[in-house]
A and B are shown apart, each in its own frame.
Chain A
Amino acid sequence: MNDLQNENPNTCSSRKRRVFPGKMLFLFLLTMLSVQLYAQQTVTGKVTAADSALSGVSVVVKNTTTGTSTGSDGTFSIKVPANAVLVFSYVGFADQEITVGNQTSINVSMTGAANQMNDVVVVGYSSQKKATVTGSISVVKGADLVKSPQPNLSNSLAGRASGIILNNRSGEPGYDGSSIYIRGLATTGSNDVLIVVDGVPGQIGGLERLNPNDIESMSILKDASAAIYGSRAANGVILITTKRGTSGKPAISASFNQGFASPTRMPKMADAATYAQISNEIAYYNNKAGGMNQQYSDEEIEKFRNGSDPLNYPNTDWAKTTLKSAALQNQANVSVSGGSENVKYFVSLGTLYQDGLYKNGATNYKQYSFRSNIDANITKDLKVSLYISGREEDRQYPTASAGDIFRSIYRAYSTLPAFYPNGLPSLGIEGANPAVMSTNAGGLSKNPVQVFNGILKASYSIPGVQGLSLDGFVAIDRSWNFTKTFATPYLLYSYNKTDDSYNSRIVGGSNNLATLTESQYSQVQVTSNVKLNYRRNFGQHNLDLFAGYEQSEIRSETFGAFRQNFPTTQTPELSQGGTAATDQTNYGSSYHFTRQSVIGKASYNYSEKYLADVQMRIDGSSTFPSDNRHGYFPSVSAGWRISKESFFNVPAISNLKLRASYGLLGNDNVGLFQYLNNYSFNSQLVLGGSIVPGIDLVKLANSQIHWESAKKLDIGLEATFLKNFNLEFIYFQQKRSNILAVRNASIPAVSGIVNPYGADPLVPSENIGKVNSNGIEVTLGYQKPSRNFSWGVSGNFTYAKNKVIFIDEASGILPYQSQTGHPLNTYLLYNATGIFRSDADTAKAPHLSVSQGGDLIYQDYNGDGKITADDQVRSKYGNIPQITYGLVMNASFRNKVDISIVFAGQAQVSQYVLPESGTVGNFYSSWADNRWSPTNPNGTYPRVDTRASASVNGGQYSSTFWLNDASFIRLKNVELGYTFSGNWMNHVKLQSARVYVNAFNVFTITKVKDYDPEGNSGSGQFYPQQRIINIGANIRF
């Protein structure tokens, strides 16, 4: 992949088998010992680019770890042995090798042509020169990921690469990740992407909470190149490689960030006078004979408006009362890397703190993480690496969920105060006062999670056979997820104006006493892998083979307990709760899952001109019955570097590669034991005064259950032209079949096979679905390196469209309502074509029997003169965008000031949002201010109703009126940095210092009116996405 971000001097690229350029500025790779042994000659010189000094260029003695880097004036000095060859490298420039001979002064001019063909890309179970890669793989560098101040790593990818579709659904600290889809939706089943960290597939702990400072690079396998991960690769694979040490004296790097977060967007709600008027209208619609002032007189409404009586006629902005203008967050990170020739290390420590948005809120998130990656050469042939990382994620929340708090913010009437003038909190909406719910008044919910990942790797070059080696690893992942929720009662008040008194009401806890829930969920995964490799060149024939065996086993245990009727709130311990047998309950369950795989890959290329890869994986999964357990996942891919042909003589094009891949991938991400009829103690009935457990059939057997398969075709063209331009064009196609889906719609309920609501379906997953998808990805970049002003811009565009070929549907479904032939996740809605302007107006069009002025006009789609369910039609788009795009820009002035900008956008996407409005909750002002009413017959929104979800203008007849075009373009990230230079730094032993300001979700252009267009809540009630402004500093010494 093109990556035009890598000229930042802090970048650390992933050329791990060659040299370690990038952050080398302050690395001294000579140990004193090696200096004494080998130093025979001192070479000095200056490195320039376009006649300007270039600092930070890595200067390394070839085939050693001896090296230095150029200073701010571009000069270097290095002691080298006789006959040394120096390698000069700098990201964005072609490497240069210069034989020292007897020269003592060497001046080098780096040429501008960025040739990334020599970069090494991490691919499945191996790494490959970018030049020889035949698959579609996007690479994002760790150095770019740290530019996003959002502490959740998944958000840092937005806009950076084609083919990866991200939507940040919520901003709640601890739960603020993005959904990740590679090339959009491809199946009705799980679309989860496989995360591989340092070679461990599905490492526990995942991607979101990794410390971005620890990450060297991320490779995103989008096509059949992922087939080496077989059964789990159908939805794409993200390979994460963490940083490792390089020889030299310790390089210490520290950074600190201070961020300020606020919601990207929040709906504006109707003010008190408007809401009072609306409640009059609602009462009127329910009882027209009662007139227009059944709830409030005009005088009262005026009091709401003029604020003359704040006790009885307040005007409350609940969001303002509950939320701060900005929440603080900070991140600190220290890492040390270095080592001797035989032992190298990278160790890091990171902390993260995020405060919630609530005033006096209970919500916060703290994270502490460490990583220690050590590589050691035990003998000449045997290398051992130990990767250990761990983190503590401390989540703390009020006992009310963010969903409930925001629901209450949007529901609570503006006509009720949050706090009375004397300071007492009001009842809010039904005893839910968000300004109190968000604090610890109702107790706390603490959710500490610990994750441990350990990997022991070894590789052994088998003596006697050149190119033959054996490697393997054992990885142990563990996580512990503990929750302790102590819900305590507290008082809210209502005001009685008749006798000017305040009546308290106890809310929180249960039965006016505290309750305690504790639970523990732990997981352990053991993965082991052994692999035999053969890598050798025979003249121009380059061969790279491996075959291996891998198995993994995952177990989890859950248990929990509950107590209520605590005599006092002083004792939040299970042992101190109510003593009646019925005051205490507990539960527990466990889970065990195994996979076993044989993998193999053969790569061949001739002179790096003709490239071919063949991969195969055989997977066994405990999900499937023994006779159907194994899946075979082959793939082939090939590439042709046309630019290497002698007949290709186009000087403007320095690299041109055509590649294609085709392969079969799988998915086994469905519930276990579906090949059996599952019975479970599932219900409690009361017989003879006590509870008797009842057994239910909870899952019918599907003895035939096996792999879902994905056939992926990918054709790509890569080019580098006019020195500074990069282009990649990809066409991809995917045919998903045997999709593990549940038959539901086609099974008549009279058969008795009926799926329960809100629980695992009775019907098992069956290999019945078929979905085709295809699309293109285009990336075009320009990178202009130069001493004074380097800049680059890269745009990426992804179009990913899917079409349901088979999905279980009722045999009698109307053709235009069926999902078959349409994209996944579309909505079935009435077409709202307008609003009846008056009761009389309803006569003009087919309408519901209850239609009146102010109601939505629904299209009589089938033309039968009636509005029935047959008039619903399928929406064109679902809530996963078909088009996503990104624009990444960066510039650097004299290596002092740098700026980088990421825009991300999406199009061809729809999200249905019906606010919970009515007497049940307040209205967005977009609706309130534009509603139809008897006095506003030209309103652009329908009349208000008691409960939008049950209204003929809302949930009762879900219509396109509430379907939003969720397209947007947003400035996702921007970073402006300043790198210090000057002699003063040497005095304080500082190798580098950089300060920066960056921001996340800076602004958004969208047609969506009230909420963040990345949200996917059908009611709009969620913890909003965050806009974060951050300042930070990095120092190295």
Chain B
Amino acid sequence: MAVALLAMATSCKKDFLTVNPTDRVSETAVLNDSSLFEDYVVARYIGAKLQDKEGDGTNPGFGRGFEYAMWSSLTDESIYNNDDATWLIQRGLLAPENLGNAGVLWGRSYRSIRECNFALNNLANVPMSDGHKTMLKAELRFIRAFRYQDLIRNYGGIVLMGDKVYNLSDDLQDAALFTRSSIKESIDYALAELTAAAADLPLDNGDTWKAGRATKGAALALKSRLALYAASPLYNAGTWEDAAKAAQEVIALNKYSLYQGGYGNLFLDANNSEAIFVRFYTKNANHTHMEIANGPNSYGGWAGNSPLQNLVDDYEMMDGKAITDPASGYNPQDPYKNRDPRFYATILYNGASYRGSTIETFVPGGKDSKDGPDNWNSSKTGYYLKKFMNDSYPLQNPWGNAGFQPWYYFRYAEVLLNFAEAANEAYGPDVTPSGASLTARAAVNLIRSRASVAMPDVQAGLSKDAMRTAIRNERRVELAFEEHRFYDVRRWKIADVTENAPAGGITITKNGSNYVYTTKVALDGRRFLTQHYWLPIPRTEIQASGNKIEQNPNY
């Protein structure tokens, strides 16, 4: 019996058990084939999907971008109409165990940093020209710095990984994994990386370095943003002078200019001179179908990110005066008249034209109010989002045929506002910093004078403080819904005011042909606590570290 057993055992061919995978690529191939390697490198622009309701279409890039609940709905720009784990943040419940939408940046960023480090560590041996290697190296360092920016602006001082690639066989309780650097160390590291990356990245996109890949301008724009943050009160880790200089570096490229084809159109197509670094989408590689996700209920939309009255009220009158200014001519009973043109390009309001019809948020009977169809999808604030909406995409049944808008990571307007803010703080509104070509005021006015916006210049002779207010408001309006407000109110340390203000909306009651406007609270319980200046590190991460990672204060 044993003999028979043995005979059979030896008769079997060893090869039978050797199966080669056909649906995956080996590491050897990735590291020895320059085009596969490059396919690996460019994929770093995209991050892993780490929670439900993100990466609808293609996986997330940096930040949050176009998702159902946008980052704006964690601020005083909008509320997400159907919650989707945003209200807990609006209501001050944000905690290490209750992260809502804001829990994935930690993991996504570090995963990407590891992937970049892997490529950086292996780049030297990949068969390709040295020149190309230099560019890929710069690209990887840019991506890695961008991930650090995502970490820093959310968590403050973070763990810097250097070029280390941790593997499963390593000690994953290593103290080095859990030692947070200071904010300054973190920012300085990222800034230095970006300086190095900018030196080697190409100035322009083209056939060999396609649009969507980082350029010198992208690295310098990120540097500008980080330098601005560093100088801000919350960070207190840099100077306004340096921040102004960093913005000036982008301006000095003389490559970028403001798009003059209409503020609204800017967000539908990024093939323009204002675009510095953009995530592009196309059919079969789309993002969330914005029109149905945010559209009014009578159109079949879901009201998603509903703009707040708080934002609406911050749009100036067309004459450049705030609505709170008695001389502005603002009429609370005709509130949408003569407002900053960007208001009309950003917000759908009662009476606005949309897709061949008119928005009706009034009651009783307004089709886009609670009296309309699918009324749980009617806006609680009385407003719908207009910015980013492309009317040529289908709103009903858009599946696969929408979600192609570009997401601007950096556009020139931001750089100008960075410059204006830093220059004003460092030098005042009307000083041209040395080496610069314009003043803070001039930078703001450039933005206000964009064709289709054409707002009057900022009043001359403003004090630095008044100019600060103007710049902050300009930033709020110009960059609304572009993932700035959340970080701006924090770094300015005004979030305890802005994020504690009730989430406002409007009730419009129709009386015959008259409308009566009454402001209301769209969502009760808005609250911001001191600890919320920084996000909490996820509880799971604290536990995985054996409580060795230091949590942000007061969590």
**Contact: B107 with A749, CB < 8 Å?**
yes
Interface 0/1 of B189-216, CB less than 8 Å to A: 0000000000000000101001111000
Q: B115-165: which residues lie under 8 A (CB-CB) from chain A?
A: 115, 117-118, 159, 161, 165
B302 at interface, CB cutoff 8 A: yes
Q: B36-81: which residues lie under 8 A (CB-CB) from chain A?
A: 36, 39-40, 42-43, 45-46, 48-52, 58-59
Contacts of A590 in B (CB 8 A): 22-23
Contact of B40 among A507, A549, A695, A751 (CB under 8 A): A695
**Contact: B83 with A694, CB < 8 Å?**
no
**Nearest-CB residue, chain B, relative to A595:** B17
Q: Please report the C-alpha to C-alpha distance between residue A171 and residue B268 in the assembled complex, in whole angstroms.
A: 47
Q: B83-99: which residues lie under 8 A (CB-CB) from chain A?
A: 83-85, 87-88, 91-93, 95-98
Q: B6-57: which residues lie under 8 A (CB-CB) from chain A?
A: 8-9, 11-12, 16-19, 21-27, 29-30, 36, 39-40, 42-43, 45-46, 48-52
**Contact: A285 with B540, CB < 8 Å?**
no
**Contact: B543 with A813, CB < 8 Å?**
yes
Contacts of B400 in A (CB 8 A): 510-511, 515, 564
Contact of B19 among A622, A681, A850 (CB under 8 A): A622
A865 at interface, CB cutoff 8 A: no
A843 at interface, CB cutoff 8 A: no
B298 at interface, CB cutoff 8 A: yes
B367 at interface, CB cutoff 8 A: yes
Q: Please report the C-alpha to C-alpha distance between residue A676 and residue B28 in the assembled complex, in whole angstroms.
A: 10
B394 at interface, CB cutoff 8 A: yes
**Contact: B159 with A950, CB < 8 Å?**
no
Q: A707-754: which residues lie under 8 A (CB-CB) from chain B?
A: 743, 745-754
Are A593 and B111 also in contact (CB < 8 A) when A679-B25, A683-B43, A686-B280 are?
no
Are A549 and B9 also in contact (CB < 8 A) when A683-B43, A749-B110, A750-B110 are?
yes
**Contact: B520 with A691, CB < 8 Å?**
no
A431 at interface, CB cutoff 8 A: yes
Q: A482-534: which residues lie under 8 A (CB-CB) from chain B?
A: 489, 494-498, 503, 505-512, 515, 530, 532, 534
Most buried by A among B51, B161, B396: B396
Contacts of B159 in A (CB 8 A): 750
Could you show 29 A-B contacts with beta carbons less than 8 Å apart?
Answer: A286-B524, A288-B524, A427-B374, A430-B374, A505-B300, A509-B397, A547-B8, A677-B26, A679-B29, A680-B23, A681-B25, A684-B58, A684-B285, A685-B45, A688-B211, A695-B36, A697-B118, A748-B178, A749-B544, A751-B110, A753-B172, A754-B107, A754-B111, A757-B48, A757-B49, A812-B543, A812-B545, A850-B92, A956-B93
**Nearest-CB residue, chain A, relative to B2:** A547
Q: Please report the C-alpha to C-alpha distance between residue A582 and residue B22 in the assembled complex, in whole angstroms.
A: 26
**Contact: A685 with B46, CB < 8 Å?**
yes
Q: Please report the C-alpha to C-alpha distance between residue A551 and residue B19 in the assembled complex, in whole angstroms.
A: 14
**Contact: B114 with A751, CB < 8 Å?**
yes
A840 at interface, CB cutoff 8 A: no
Q: A630-672: which residues lie under 8 A (CB-CB) from chain B?
A: 672
Q: Please report the C-alpha to C-alpha distance between residue A996 and residue B554 in the assembled complex, in whole angstroms.
A: 71
B521 at interface, CB cutoff 8 A: yes
Q: Please report the C-alpha to C-alpha distance between residue A919 and residue B377 in the assembled complex, in whole angstroms.
A: 9
Distance (Å) between the CB of B309 and the closest chain A CB?
A: 13
A920 at interface, CB cutoff 8 A: yes
A985 at interface, CB cutoff 8 A: no
**Contact: A751 with B172, CB < 8 Å?**
yes
Main secondary structure on chain B at its contact with chain A? loop
Give the A-B pair count, Cβ closer than 8 A.
337
A467 at interface, CB cutoff 8 A: no
Q: Please report the C-alpha to C-alpha distance between residue A549 and residue B282 in the assembled complex, in whole angstroms.
A: 55
Q: Please report the C-alpha to C-alpha distance between residue A508 and residue B19 in the assembled complex, in whole angstroms.
A: 43
Q: Please report the C-alpha to C-alpha distance between residue A484 and residue B280 in the assembled complex, in whole angstroms.
A: 32
**Nearest-CB residue, chain B, relative to A284:** B524
Q: Please report the C-alpha to C-alpha distance between residue A608 and residue B399 in the assembled complex, in whole angstroms.
A: 70
A693 at interface, CB cutoff 8 A: yes
A sample of 4 more A-B contacts (CB under 8 A), given A549-B9, A694-B39, is A548-B8, A750-B161, A752-B114, A869-B98
**Contact: B523 with A287, CB < 8 Å?**
yes
List the 8 shortest-distance A-B pairs measured between CB atoms, nearest first.
A752-B114, A694-B43, A688-B210, A869-B97, A494-B373, A810-B543, A811-B546, A919-B376
A429 at interface, CB cutoff 8 A: yes
**Contact: B394 with A956, CB < 8 Å?**
no
Q: Please report the C-alpha to C-alpha distance between residue A752 and residue B114 in the assembled complex, in whole angstroms.
A: 5
B166 at interface, CB cutoff 8 A: yes
**Contact: B93 with A751, CB < 8 Å?**
no
Q: Please report the C-alpha to C-alpha distance between residue A677 and residue B4 in the assembled complex, in whole angstroms.
A: 39
**Contact: A427 with B50, CB < 8 Å?**
no
A678 at interface, CB cutoff 8 A: yes
Q: Please report the C-alpha to C-alpha distance between residue A810 and residue B173 in the assembled complex, in whole angstroms.
A: 10
Distance (Å) between the CB of B92 and the closest chain A CB?
A: 6
Distance (Å) between the CB of A609 and the closest chain B CB?
A: 24
Interface 0/1 of A139-150, CB less than 8 Å to B: 000000000000
Contact of A950 among B17, B24, B85 (CB under 8 A): B85
Are A850 and B91 also in contact (CB < 8 A) when A489-B397, A547-B8 are?
yes
**Contact: A596 with B18, CB < 8 Å?**
no
Q: A745-791: which residues lie under 8 A (CB-CB) from chain B?
A: 745-754, 756-759, 762-764, 766
A698 at interface, CB cutoff 8 A: yes
Are A750 and B541 also in contact (CB < 8 A) when A680-B24, A685-B212, A956-B98 are?
yes
**Nearest-CB residue, chain B, relative to A693:** B39
Most buried by B among A295, A683, A813: A683
**Contact: A946 with B83, CB < 8 Å?**
yes
Contact of B380 among A286, A503, A530, A850 (CB under 8 A): A286
Distance (Å) between the CB of B95 and the closest chain A CB?
A: 7
Contacts of A626 in B (CB 8 A): 17-18
Distance (Å) between the CB of B334 and the closest chain A CB?
A: 23
Are A749 and B24 also in contact (CB < 8 A) when A596-B12, A684-B58 are?
no
**Contact: B42 with A286, CB < 8 Å?**
no
Distance (Å) between the CB of A704 and the closest chain B CB?
A: 10
Q: Please report the C-alpha to C-alpha distance between residue A294 and residue B507 in the assembled complex, in whole angstroms.
A: 11
Interface 0/1 of A266-302, CB less than 8 Å to B: 0000000000000000000111111000110000000
B444 at interface, CB cutoff 8 A: no
Distance (Å) between the CB of B256 and the closest chain A CB?
A: 19
**Contact: A683 with B59, CB < 8 Å?**
yes
Distance (Å) between the CB of B34 and the closest chain A CB?
A: 12
**Contact: A547 with B4, CB < 8 Å?**
yes
B438 at interface, CB cutoff 8 A: no
Distance (Å) between the CB of B201 and the closest chain A CB?
A: 15
Distance (Å) between the CB of A416 and the closest chain B CB?
A: 8
Are A849 and B283 also in contact (CB < 8 A) when A679-B40, A749-B107, A756-B50 are?
no
**Nearest-CB residue, chain B, relative to A297:** B364
A947 at interface, CB cutoff 8 A: yes
Interface 0/1 of A575-599, CB less than 8 Å to B: 0000000100100011111111010
Q: Please report the C-alpha to C-alpha distance between residue A680 and residue B112 in the assembled complex, in whole angstroms.
A: 16
A692 at interface, CB cutoff 8 A: yes
**Contact: B16 with A618, CB < 8 Å?**
no
Q: Please report the C-alpha to C-alpha distance between residue A956 and residue B87 in the assembled complex, in whole angstroms.
A: 11
**Nearest-CB residue, chain A, relative to B180:** A750
A935 at interface, CB cutoff 8 A: no
Contact of A287 among B30, B51, B520 (CB under 8 A): B520
Contact of A687 among B51, B167, B280 (CB under 8 A): B280
Contacts of A585 in B (CB 8 A): 284
**Contact: A532 with B4, CB < 8 Å?**
yes
A328 at interface, CB cutoff 8 A: no
Distance (Å) between the CB of A762 and the closest chain B CB?
A: 8
Contacts of B211 in A (CB 8 A): 687-689
Contacts of A691 in B (CB 8 A): 282, 284-285
Are A688 and B205 also in contact (CB < 8 A) when A752-B110, A754-B108, A850-B93 are?
yes
B113 at interface, CB cutoff 8 A: yes
Q: Please report the C-alpha to C-alpha distance between residue A686 and residue B58 in the assembled complex, in whole angstroms.
A: 10
A545 at interface, CB cutoff 8 A: yes
**Contact: B520 with A812, CB < 8 Å?**
no
Q: A594-623: which residues lie under 8 A (CB-CB) from chain B?
A: 594-596, 598, 600, 602, 618, 620-622
